[in-house]
């Protein structure tokens, strides 16, 4: 249902660390708690929120011209005179010019590009114009106007060809090789430069094998079959085996590889890794057979041990602890290192926790998560004084592990709120920028996706002080999702009023009361799901403030005896809040009011979460959360818990400690 994690902030260690937490809901917002500590610094001379109002007549003309762009120079000039300095005029000019781009004069297009630097409209026009220049084979002009900033792959291929045709042949072949080494098939626009590259002495079977490896990692077997034409006979057999092992990894033990080689070991390592993802015991047996045949070199053994250990760890199986010491992790294999410690935590192997943390790179070792578990392990092994020093340091921070550390030593939570204070002059300057005016006017017209595009282009042009001013402008205009994302760009985490706003407050509190929910937890979940962007859609198809999947929405509508008119119904904040709050209550009822389990179920699905429960006895909730197999859901639960505490602070409520929201996670028979 809530399968995406829209614009929540990045996580940064330190005093103002953005929270990565979880929340367990036990009911209403009453009950004992700790009183919030407040630390606020307001700007001495507050800036004024910019007003961006334009005559309705201009807006009406714009809307009509978007539907029916001008067709003649005279009509365009008349329209331009009518709209004057209206900020969205470039959209109309773009619509006018693109109608006959194939016959347009160079001067008119190039004048537009020179007068309209930056922004989506200029990008669209530049890309269309470059496509026309490539079709005309006007390579000199193409080179003049090409920009590789986020250029589509087809234009990048045209650029490589343009370089070749204008005398930069060595650079053209370098660029062509970089483009050709893709795990996916590439557009036909790339065929001309690739034909040149493939016939040059820069190309070899080794390069083809390299691309086969990239394609196999993405499971693109069709591309692999195509690439095999560039290989010699022995390598073709290996590539064919590689494809067979992808489809049927059980064949690994009997695989025929011909002579032993580095490439053969690469194929066998891939096959045994793939088998171990689903059948770790079969992979262990296959490894023994390969060893008997003399085919289990270091590459194969390490691939097998690594994947077997990870599979057991993801299944919360104690056998992970037997396999972890058999691995030889690369210095950058943080996935293996993290799961080694998480598994040891889950099974109360505290000495292994300390050993696993000790081999991590220093930067990883100093993350709050591992500081917390190091302190817990020290505590469990009788080194309470060392543990307390770590807890005291962590407790100064506003994040999940900081709050847990405060609970451990009985300290108050440190919210460390400090409002940003942009200079009024900088706010005024940013507000006058053309991109700012376009973005805010598009928002006023309800064209939110276009407004977000303009805002993203704007931010790329600003320095740090200007970005702070932009976040303040977005916030004062109640554009909360952009304010949150904007301030995250410059890693300013301490303005809790901006980062944790209270839009829809009356509606959210009414639904919290209706369903006996914590309003802070409901705010926290919405903040994590959508950052209060009402029209956001995830890649998985979830929609709106509470990121409801259409099928789930249809089911909820039936349960509430409401009519279902389709997915767009979920774009209504009223409907989305109705459905999402009802669904959260349902998840809580299904998990005995356990907010961490309910939040995990909201994100990943109740049936899946039940498979993550311990088979027998209950276990520590913090250890369980750190062993959730989905990275997204792990982070989601931590953040919902942390954000709930922050929203209690923002709402002026007594703050429930995380330890009181984290009862032990019951075994499967306990739900």
**Domain-ending residue, one of 198, 233, 252:** 198
Q: What average pLDDT does the segment 133-157 reach?
A: 94
User: How much is the pLDDT for 44?
Assistant: 54
**Band of pLDDT at residue 645, cut at 50, 70 and 90:** very high
Q: What average pLDDT does the segment 272-292 reach?
A: 95
CA dihedral defined by 537, 540, 542, 543, rounded to 10 degrees? 20
Q: What average pLDDT does the segment 108-136 reach?
A: 92
203 domain-assigned: no
User: How much is the pLDDT for 32?
Assistant: 33
**Phi/psi of residue 44, each to 5°?**
-65, -45
Percentage of the chain lying above the pLDDT 70 cut: 93
**Domain-ending residue, one of 198, 233, 248:** 198
Q: Is pLDDT at 211 greater than 80 in this prediction? A: yes
pLDDT digits (tens, 9 = 90+) for 478-536: 999 999 999 999 999 999 999 999 999 999 999 999 999 999 999 999 999 999 999 99
Which CATH number is 93's domain given?
Answer: 1.25.20.10
User: How much is the pLDDT for 31?
Assistant: 32
175 domain-assigned: yes
User: How much is the pLDDT for 13?
Assistant: 30
pLDDT digits (tens, 9 = 90+) for 228-249: 999 999 999 999 999 999 999 9
Q: Is pLDDT at 202 greater than 60 in this prediction? A: yes
User: How much is the pLDDT for 19?
Assistant: 37
User: How much is the pLDDT for 55?
Assistant: 86
227 domain-assigned: no
Residue 604 CB neighbours (<10 A): 22
Q: How many distinct structural domains can be found in the chain?
A: 2
Residue 120 CB neighbours (<10 A): 17
Helical packing angle, 573-590 and 550-559, nearest 10°? 80
393 domain-assigned: no
**β strands within 452-523, DSSP E:** none
Closest to 345 measured CA to CA, from 658, 620, 24, 666: 620
| Catalytic positions | 529
Higher pLDDT, 219 or 258: 219
Task: Tell me the residue range of the domain where 66 lies.
Answer: 56-198
Q: What average pLDDT does the segment 211-236 reach?
A: 97
**Domain-ending residue, one of 151, 180, 198:** 198
620 domain-assigned: yes
185 domain-assigned: yes
Residue 445 CB neighbours (<10 A): 16
H-type helices in 203-297, by residue range? 205-217, 221-227, 233-247, 262-278, 280-292
Q: Is pLDDT at 41 greater than 90 in this prediction? A: no
**Band of pLDDT at residue 9, cut at 50, 70 and 90:** very low
User: How much is the pLDDT for 197?
Assistant: 99
User: How much is the pLDDT for 25?
Assistant: 32
**Band of pLDDT at residue 35, cut at 50, 70 and 90:** very low
Average pLDDT, the chain: 92
Residue 532 and residue 544 in contact, taking contact as beta carbons nearer than 8 Å: no
101 domain-assigned: yes
pLDDT digits (tens, 9 = 90+) for 573-620: 999 999 999 999 999 999 999 999 999 999 999 999 999 999 988 999
Which CATH number is 528's domain given?
Answer: 1.10.530.10
Percentage of the chain lying above the pLDDT 90 cut: 84
Q: What sign does the dihedral 567-570-571-575 (CA atoms) show?
A: positive
- In degrees, to the nearest 5, what angle opens at C-alpha 500 toward C-alphas 494 and 506? 150
**Band of pLDDT at residue 458, cut at 50, 70 and 90:** very high
User: How much is the pLDDT for 192?
Assistant: 98
651 domain-assigned: yes
């Amino acid at each position: 249902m809530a399968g995406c994690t829209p614009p929540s902030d990045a996580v940064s260690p330190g005093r103002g660390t953005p929270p990565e937490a979880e929340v367990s809901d036990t009911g209403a917002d009453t009950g004992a708690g700790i009183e919030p500590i407040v630390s606020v610094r307001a700007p001495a001379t507050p800036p004024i929120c910019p007003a961006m109002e334009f005559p309705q007549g201009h807006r009406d003309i714009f809307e009509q011209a978007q539907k029916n762009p001008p067709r003649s120079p005279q009509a365009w000039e008349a329209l331009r005179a009518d709209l004057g300095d209206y900020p969205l005029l470039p959209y109309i000019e773009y619509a006018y010019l693109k109608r006959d781009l194939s016959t347009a004069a160079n001067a008119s297009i190039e004048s537009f590009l020179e007068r309209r630097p930056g922004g989506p409209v200029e990008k669209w026009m530049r890309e269309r114009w470059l496509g026309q220049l490539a079709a005309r084979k006007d390579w000199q002009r193409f080179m003049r106007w090409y920009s590789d900033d986020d250029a589509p792959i087809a234009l990048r291929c045209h650029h490589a060809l343009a370089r070749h045709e204008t005398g930069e042949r060595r650079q053209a072949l370098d660029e062509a090789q970089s483009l050709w080494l893709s795990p996916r098939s590439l557009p036909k626009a790339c065929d001309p430069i690739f034909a040149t590259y493939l016939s040059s002495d820069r190309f070899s079977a080794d390069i083809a094998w390299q691309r086969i490896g990239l394609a196999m990692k993405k499971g693109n077997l069709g591309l692999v079959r195509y690439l095999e034409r560039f290989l010699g006979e022995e390598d073709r057999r290996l590539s064919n085996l590689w494809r067979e092992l992808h489809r049927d990894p059980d064949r690994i033990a009997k695989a025929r590889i011909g002579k032993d080689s580095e490439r053969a070991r690469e194929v066998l390592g891939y096959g045994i890794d793939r088998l171990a993802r689903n059948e770790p015991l079969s992979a262990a047996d296959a490894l023994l057979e390969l060893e008997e045949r003399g085919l289990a070199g270091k590459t194969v053994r390490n691939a097998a041990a690594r994947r077997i250990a990870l599979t057991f760890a993801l299944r919360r199986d104690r056998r992970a602890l037997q396999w972890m010491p058999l691995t030889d992790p690369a210095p950058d294999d943080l996935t293996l290192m993290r799961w080694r410690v998480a598994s040891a935590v889950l099974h109360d192997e505290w000495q292994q926790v300390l050993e696993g943390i000790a081999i991590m790179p220093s930067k990883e070792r100093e993350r709050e998560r591992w500081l917390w578990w190091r302190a817990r392990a020290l505590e469990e092994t009788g080194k309470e004084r060392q543990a307390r020093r770590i807890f005291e340091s962590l407790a100064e921070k506003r994040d999940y592990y900081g709050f847990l550390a405060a609970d451990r030593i009985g300290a108050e939570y440190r919210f460390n709120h400090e409002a940003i204070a942009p200079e009024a002059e900088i706010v005024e300057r940013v507000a006058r920028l053309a991109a700012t005016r376009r973005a805010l006017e598009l928002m006023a017209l309800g064209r939110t996706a276009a407004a977000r595009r303009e805002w993203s282009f704007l931010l790329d042009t600003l320095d740090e002080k200007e970005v702070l001013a932009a976040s303040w402008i977005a916030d004062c205009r109640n554009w909360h999702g952009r304010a949150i994302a904007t301030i995250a760009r410059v890693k300013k985490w301490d303005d809790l009023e901006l980062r944790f706003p209270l839009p829809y407050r009356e509606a959210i509190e009414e639904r919290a009361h209706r369903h006996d929910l914590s309003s802070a937890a409901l705010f926290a979940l919405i903040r994590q799901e959508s950052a209060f962007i009402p029209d956001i859609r995830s890649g998985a198809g979830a929609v709106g403030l509470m990121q409801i999947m259409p099928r789930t929405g249809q089911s909820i509508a039936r349960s509430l005896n409401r009519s279902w008119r389709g997915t767009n119904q979920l774009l209504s904040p009223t409907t989305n809040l109705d459905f999402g709050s009802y669904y959260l209550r349902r998840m809580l009822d299904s998990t005995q009011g356990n907010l961490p389990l309910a939040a995990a179920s909201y994100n990943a699905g109740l049936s899946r979460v039940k498979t993550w429960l311990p088979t027998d006895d209950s276990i520590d909730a913090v250890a369980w959360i750190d062993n959730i197999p989905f990275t997204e859901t792990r982070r989601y639960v931590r953040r919902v818990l942390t954000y709930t505490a922050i929203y209690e602070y923002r709402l002026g409520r007594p703050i429930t400690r995380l330890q009181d929201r984290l009862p032990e996670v019951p075994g499967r028979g306990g739900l």
